Every structure is written in structure tokens, then in C-alpha cells.
Chains A and B, each alone.
Chain A
Amino acid sequence: MTPPGIPDEAKTPRVSDSPDVPKSSAAGETGVRRLHPLTFVVGAVRELIALLAAGATGLAVGGLSTAFYFTLVGLGIGLVFHVASWATFTYALRDDRIELRRTLIGRSVKTIPRDRIRGVDVSTSLPHRTLGLAVVHIDAGSEGGEAALNAVSRREAERLRRVLLDRAADEPEGDAAPPRRVLARMRRRWYVYAPLSGAYLLTPFALAGSLLGTLYNLGDDLGLITRERVETVGHEVVGLPAAAVVALAVLALFALPVMSVIAFSLFNWDFTVEERNGSIVAERGLATRRSVSLERRRLRGVELADNPLERLGGVLRLGALVTGLGDAAHRGRLLPAAPRPVAEELAARVVGAVPGPLRPHPRAARGRRVVRAVAPPGAVGLLAVAAGRPWIAAACAVLALLAVPLGLDRYRQLGHVTDGERLSVRSGSLKRRQVVVEHGAIVGWRFRRTLFQRRLGLATLDVAVGAGDGGYPAIDMSEQDAVAFAAEITPDWVRPFLEK
């Protein structure tokens, strides 16, 4: 086996340029290709590591026990499986489509028309990188679904990305290297923003949990974990002096932000947004380097998100609204955390300036926001009173009180504006979100009015967009403003239906 760590760069290009493949690859060549031969090695690496670790432990503990033989057999089966799946899989790039073919017992052919491809996503994990390989994900929107080439050489991945996303720019391409322009790059000190986002605070727990789970299962399989040993550990923990426990807890509390910075850096290391002929390419990651290409003409807007902590720090997360992009929350990410001016500048370079300032919504909307924030804990509290649970009722009362400022802030964050080319709507407090959408991307308007909204003269206007979530609401506008807003942006659609 090839353990990760041995650089294989020298061998890679030769292997990938197998004889049946023309060296200069035009956009329309028709060669049938296989995945990279080293693929099965990578495919097996994960199992290998786990199995070898288990085998070594088994050897150390119980000699050449049955567990060890099982490990060997499992290893063999895994290798055979990976070799077989490598041998039976081919792909071919045709003029108008890409075909993925698997022939084992049955035969399956997946065809993706090239004009349906919306994004090509190249990722390299650590073992992939040491072997000079990369995984290519092809995203074809809702009609074609997804396909993965796991794995090809990195040169082939770059070529596929270029060719598959480049149908518009086929003609000028070929002579010069494609123009590259760095639009934004993560600065060192931005990694410190990680604890603000909250999500990364929990990652260490998830990692530790899965690690402990794996260790436990492994130990359990090998008979290392017995009832007595677990009990001993338990007694030792209980037996610790209270001061030590408190110290440990405090340590953990201080360690959390540090851990979150580490986790954040792992995922977002050297986050770079580049422009390469007609596509926006976002690259990130330390151990697994991931690069996502977004076709520029499908990029119809951006989303600026933050939470109250990030707002205090002046930090934003920037995402792209791309038509027909699956898993948009992860793939559409343009900046994981950056100061507001930087994020807004990148937004301006990608879709155009963020319109502003936002127009606030009418006062009648304020009461509605507060009521809707207070209602859930209030209702639970009333139920608890009826059921005779004073403690739960008290907790709910506190929550309901805290919900009042939350509702007020939710009202303050509401806003909408258009600058003639792009519109922007904003809502939310704990997870505030401002969306900027090109007028051309709008596919419809939906006005919603509940009985209560009708009494207050309010309406929620949903901007239907064929990208991102599909619709973005401007919550509780005044009724006339909602109609006027839609009529201002698309007069031809709305005017025929206005009251004379």
C-alpha cells in the first residue's frame, strides 16, 4: 500500500496522459476516459487506516487473534471492491454532453447535457493531495442531478472544470492562459472572528463526540472496554476534588473559542475568491482543499448574513444566489467572515453595489413582530400554568420577557429598497439576512395578507427568484408600498392589474 505522505507528483502526469487520450484536449474531444488508476488506493485509504489501526491494536493485545484475520480479509475485500469499481467506470466528454458509464453486472449510463451544467466543484482531501488527485463534482441543477468523478488527476480536474464551464468562451480560449483575478482573500486576523458565528463553537464537540464514539466502538470490538474499566473511570472522575472539576470546566470554557478558531481555520484556510474566465471560483480549506466554480451569468444576487454578536464585531458572512445550484448554503459561500466593508466590496464586484439605505417598514409592523416573538414562549407558559407546572411557567415568562426586545429588534431590521437594477430586502435578528437580487432574476411576485395583516393595512411581499431559497420575503410592508415596490421594479407586470 501507499501510505499518505509519499509525494507522487512525478508519476502523476504520465499516468493521466494515457496513450488513448490526445494530449491537447479540445472542448469537443470524444475520448473515453477512466478515473485515475491511483483512485482505488485513495478509496481504500480510509478503510486501510481504520483496519490497520484495529489490526495493530489487536496484535498488541491478543496476538494474532481472529480480529486480526478479519481485518486482513476486510482489507482484501475492500481493495478488490475499489479496483473493480475503478475498472468498470468510464466517462466521456462529448460535444454536447458528458457521459458517465458503469458496467459491472448491469449497465448504467448517466448523461448530462453540457448546457445544463451549472457548477463544477473540485475538492482534494489530504490523501488525494499527496497522490496528486482531485474529486470533481458536476452540478446540473434540478434536471440533471449531480455526478461525481472520484478521482482524477488534478490537471484533468482543472481541464474538466475549464472545458465544462467554458462553453460560452470556447472561441477565444486556447491561445492565452485564462485571465485570473483575485477578488478577495481571507486575511489572517479574520480567523479570530470564528467564535462570533456560534456554529464553529459547536464543531469541537461534534469532532470530540465522533472521535470518542469511534474509540469506544473500536475498543469495544477488541474487548478493551469492560464494565469494570468504565466504572473505574467513572469513579475516578467522581473522586476528583470539586476545585479540579471547576478548573477543568473553566479551562474548557476558555478552550472553546480557541478550538472554534482552529476548526474555522481548518475549513476556511486561505479562503480565496477569484475570477477566471466567466466564473467565480471560491477556494478554501486546509486539510481538504475545496474549490467551487460558480458560473457568472447564473450568479443573480448575494446574501449578507450575520447574528447579533457578529453585528457587534462588524462582521458579515457573504453568500451567492446562483440559479440551479444544489447545496447552496455550502457551495454558494463567498466569504465565511469578513468586516462589512470588505464583504460589501466583494458583493459589489460580483453582482453590483449593495443598494441602500433600506426603507423602514410601517409602525404597525412593530406590534406584529413583538407579538410573534412573545407568542411561542407565552403559549407554552399558559399551558404550563394550566397543567400546574409553576417552574416551567416561570421559565417561559422569563423567555417571553426576553422576547420583547428581540421582537423590537426584528422590526428594526426590516427593510427594503431598490436602486433601479437590484433590489434588497432584510429581515431577522438572531439570524439577520439581507438579500440583494438583480431585477432580471425575478420570476414572480407573491403578496400575502393574513386576516391580522389586512386589519393593520400590512402585506408581506415575496420576491420569487429562481436562485437561492427561491423566494425572499419583505415582511409587513404597508399594503400600498408593497404594490408600489413591485410596480416600480416590473411596471409591465403589475400596472395592468392596478385599480383605476
Chain B
Amino acid sequence: MDKPKFVYVSYINSTPEKVFNALLDPEMTRKYWFNHHNASDWKVGSRWEHRIFDEPATVHVVGKVIESNPPNRLVVTWARPKDEGNDQKSSRVTYDVEPFGQSVKLTVTHDEFGDDTEMFESVSFGWPVVLSGLKTLLETGEILAAPSESSCGEELKAAQAK
């Protein structure tokens, strides 16, 4: 078993239901996830897509739902659209949402990168920005990231150019 590459933990003053919803709700994700949203019916085995909010044809990440247990756990695979179905180019993201006192502990684990170092580099830049934006949005209602500032696609291009 490979060890995880990244483990991110954020404590958020909110409820598990609100945190879980914020991972899936398009109007929420566009505010902290570089104007993207995650589209799926979130049933185990279903496909999901990470798309630009107002350009749904532009898909930057695709995958399958492996486990869904609202509001505590969501596990999905993660790949570029061109690598869909290629296990060597597909990684895995696990979201764990647990009550912690009066707040919520959100743990995001990204693992099983295989030999995909480009994806590894690009997400290591993106996750902290996305997750601290999520925390600020839920705690204050403020939008941290400038929507046009960046996108997953640009990060991928930058990583590939290296």
C-alpha cells in the first residue's frame, strides 16, 4: 500500500452538514474553488466532473465516486479528462468530515498518484489555497480567491511546462 502524498487538516467553525454541502454545492464551490464546480449525482460508481462554473463544457478533472457517506466521508478518483480510465494516471481524494468540539475537522487526503508527478506538483499548489478559501467562506461569508486568478487547468499547464 502506497502511503498518502498529502494530508491536509483544517478546523472550521461550522457544522459537518454545511462543510459537506460546501464541497458539492456549485454556488459554494465557485466561490472558493477557482470558479469551478463539481458535477455528479454523487452515487457510488457515478462519474464526477470538475468544471468551470459558467463554461460547463470546460472540464479540468474527472473521476468516479468510490464512497459517499454524507456528511462524513466522500472518496473520489481524480484524473485529467484525457487520462480517464488510465489507472496509472488516476489518483484518489478522500474527504473526511468529523465533528470536533464546537467545530469541524476536515481532512483531505490525496494519494495513489502512481507515476503522475505532474498532477502531484499541480495539486500541491492548489489544495491549501482551495481549503483555506473554503474555511474563510464558511466562517465569514467572504470570498477569498479572485475567481479569475487561477484555475486547475492553468496549474496543470504550468506544471507541465516545468
Partners in one complex: no
